[in-house]
Amino acid sequence: MRIAVGMSGGVDSSVAAYLLKRQGHEVIGVFMNNWDEQDENGVCTARTDWRDVQDVCDLLDIPYYAVDFSKEYMENVFQEFLSEYAAGRTPNPDVLCNREIKFKAFLDYAKQMGADRMATGHFVRTDDEGNLLKGADPAKDQSYFLYMVHREQLRYSLFPVGGMTKGEVREIARDAKIPVSEKKDSTGICFIGERNFKRFLSTYLPAQPGDIVLSNGEVVGRHDGLMYYTLGQRRGLGIGGRGDGRRFFVIEKDLKNNRLVVAQGDDDPRLYSDGCVCGDITFVGGPIPEGIPVPLTVKLRYRQADQPCVATLVGSRLLLRFEKPQRAVTPGQSAVLYDGEKCLGGGIIESLM
């Protein structure tokens, strides 16, 4: 079988390529260049990652190519990222990157190369019916980021490390002497990397400073721009040492008046929500029945433990009622539904209940 492997220069995709080659497949390494810009230290991680891909492919004796998806990324991922921040929401570009780049642009490229399948280093699994399942390693499961991928795309995809733990992946890499076996995992938003987030965002969006207020309107400080803050945030507010000494937390972003509303104490009831309304809904397999409440579990952020909820599909909206109030439910983030190990799909949080 001819398989195009999306290789990032990290250990997971490198081991994925190694395992497929060991199984006797004709493996092709493909590096996706989605963002080519230096950070404030003059470092472009894409170039370093591309060199790592070349070293790994040379070791595995497989051909490799670099494909430039930076235009598609800018138009379909980054511009949406900026639009969401400008609207006061907190987006997750990784879910869009998977939908628009890795399982669309790259999948099309793999087919053009004559590949029978594409493969990635994601920690997810699929079953014989094409359902998306959680990765075997609970600490590394990435199904949250793939809920926008459709079943027909999954049927064309392979996830060689999805049934392993991260420790097992690194052990395989060490035994095979793969040069990136000890390479640090990438964290955060890919195009920001280790850069200062506020400094990065300010180069694309004009900041509009304003007042930090209590719910009664009392001004307690100044914010640098609502786009820099998210619900539940406590660091970087610069208003410590008031009142009873408890820390302040963001409970609301008042876009109309450009005010950041805060409250003291992480047990403030205004930090918690009983439910939310989601739009931009995607179901990996098929949708849940419309108008019928369905008991499921939901993740409202990556790495969160599954939370029991009741999901109701109403037209183009998904209504979620939580069994227990959830803290800092954030518009712009994804709410992803599960039925046991199976990822059903989800949507973008629009409003709270």
Distance CA 179, CA 174 (A): 8
Confidence of residue 320 (pLDDT cuts 50, 70, 90): very high
**Class at the top of the CATH hierarchy for domain 2-175:** alpha beta
pLDDT at 143 over 70: yes
pLDDT value at residue 42? 45
- Write the CATH number of the domain with boundaries 272-352: 2.40.30.10
Please tell me the pTM assigned to this model.
0.91
Q: Summarize pLDDT for 255-276 with one digit per residue, the tens.
A: 999 999 999 888 889 999 999 9
90 alpha-carbon distance from chain centroid: 12
Q: Is 57 a catalytic residue?
A: no
The active-site residue, picked from 44, 57, 190, 278, is 190
Confidence of residue 35 (pLDDT cuts 50, 70, 90): confident
The active-site residue, picked from 97, 278, 309, 343, is 97
Q: Is 276 a catalytic residue?
A: no
**What mean pLDDT is predicted for residues 124-135?**
93
Distance CA 264, CA 242 (A): 9
- Burial class from Cβ neighbours inside 10 Å (0-12, 13-18, 19+) for residue 317 reads middle
Higher-confidence residue of 129 and 169: namely 169
Higher-confidence residue of 38 and 352: namely 352
pLDDT value at residue 220? 92
- What are the distances in angstroms from CA 303 to CA 264, 268, 299, 336? 26, 23, 8, 12
pLDDT at 151 over 50: yes
pLDDT value at residue 36? 63
Q: Is the Cα torsion angle 153, 143, 321, 251 positive or negative in sign? A: negative
Q: Which fold has domain 207-267?
A: SH3 type barrels. (2.30.30)
Confidence of residue 43 (pLDDT cuts 50, 70, 90): very low
pLDDT value at residue 339? 96
pLDDT value at residue 190? 61
User: Given strand 259-264, what is the order of strands in its sheet?
Assistant: 219-223, 210-213, 259-264, 248-254
pLDDT at 113 over 50: yes
Phi, psi of 291 (to 5 degrees): 80, 0
Strand runs labelled E in 142-226: 157-158, 210-213, 219-223
Q: Summarize pLDDT for 52-96 with one digit per residue, the tens.
A: 999 999 999 999 999 999 899 899 999 999 999 888 888 888 999
Confidence of residue 14 (pLDDT cuts 50, 70, 90): very high
pLDDT at 193 over 90: no
Show me where the domains of the chain are located: 2-175, 207-267, 272-352
- What are the distances in angstroms from CA 100 to CA 103, 181, 320, 340? 6, 29, 26, 27
Give the closest residue to 36 by CA, choosing from 190, 209, 256: 190
Q: Summarize pLDDT for 287-298 with one digit per residue, the tens.
A: 899 999 999 999
pLDDT value at residue 199? 80
Strand runs labelled E in the chain: 2-6, 26-33, 64-68, 117-119, 124-126, 132-134, 157-158, 210-213, 219-223, 248-254, 259-264, 272-283, 294-299, 307-314, 317-327, 334-339, 342-352
Residue 143: CA atoms inside 13 Å, Cβ hemisphere, count?
33
**What mean pLDDT is predicted for residues 126-149?**
94
pLDDT value at residue 286? 79
Q: Could you tell me which residues are beta bridge partners of residue 6? A: 30
Confidence of residue 8 (pLDDT cuts 50, 70, 90): very high
pLDDT value at residue 292? 97
Confidence of residue 310 (pLDDT cuts 50, 70, 90): very high
Distance CA 134, CA 66 (A): 29
pLDDT at 44 over 70: no
Confidence of residue 204 (pLDDT cuts 50, 70, 90): confident
pLDDT value at residue 249? 94
pLDDT value at residue 185? 83
Q: Summarize pLDDT for 225-242 with one digit per residue, the tens.
A: 999 999 999 988 888 766
pLDDT value at residue 41? 47
Q: Average per-residue pLDDT in the chain?
A: 91
Residue 124: CA atoms inside 13 Å, Cβ hemisphere, count?
22
pLDDT at 332 over 90: yes
Distance CA 321, CA 210 (A): 34
